[in-house]
Amino acid sequence: MRAAGRAWIALFLLLTFLALLPGLLYPLGLVATGGRPQPVDSARSGGACGAATYAHHVPMDPWRFTARHVGVNTKVNVPDVELEASWIARVHLGHHPRHSMLRWHLSSAALTIWITRHWSSRQIAGTARAEGYCPPRPLHGRGSD
């Protein structure tokens, strides 16, 4: 096999590995979470800043999470339900012994994905409010004067 052919095969294998990597890291992150959080009873939720619920949310997957958080314009137009799921994941991980920063970030990402896949929008919003999350308010616009 010529060098050019080997180079193309190596490139193909590298790209395949990179494409599969989020799906491989997701279960590893879930194993490192130390259990899964439970949603709060919706009757008890509300928290300090009121309960907001969303009619529907699109569950995340490892590839969508990666696309959202890697690259240009990260954190732009992130749905509130994803921010709340991330908050719940971080609070849950804060109750467990700390490990390396890599493991903490991997576990946080995996748990955020898991929450959006297994909880309803109402459960996510209610649990986030019960744990002290208040959605960020716009700096400019109506009501900011």
Q: Which domain range does residue 21 map to?
A: 3-130
pLDDT of residue 3: 87
Does 140 reside within a domain?
no
**Domains of the chain: total:** 1
pLDDT of residue 133: 85
Does 40 reside within a domain?
yes
Question: What is the chain's pLDDT, residue by residue, as a tens digit (145 residues)?
Answer: 688 899 999 999 999 999 999 999 999 999 988 889 999 876 555 544 554 556 678 899 999 898 887 776 666 678 888 889 999 999 999 887 777 889 999 999 999 999 999 999 989 988 998 888 876 655 444 443 3
Does 144 reside within a domain?
no
Could you tell me which residues come within 8 angstroms of residue 33 by beta carbon, excluding any fewer than 6 positions away?
A: 92, 93, 96, 107, 110, 111
Does 143 reside within a domain?
no
Does 14 reside within a domain?
yes
This prediction has a pTM of: 0.80
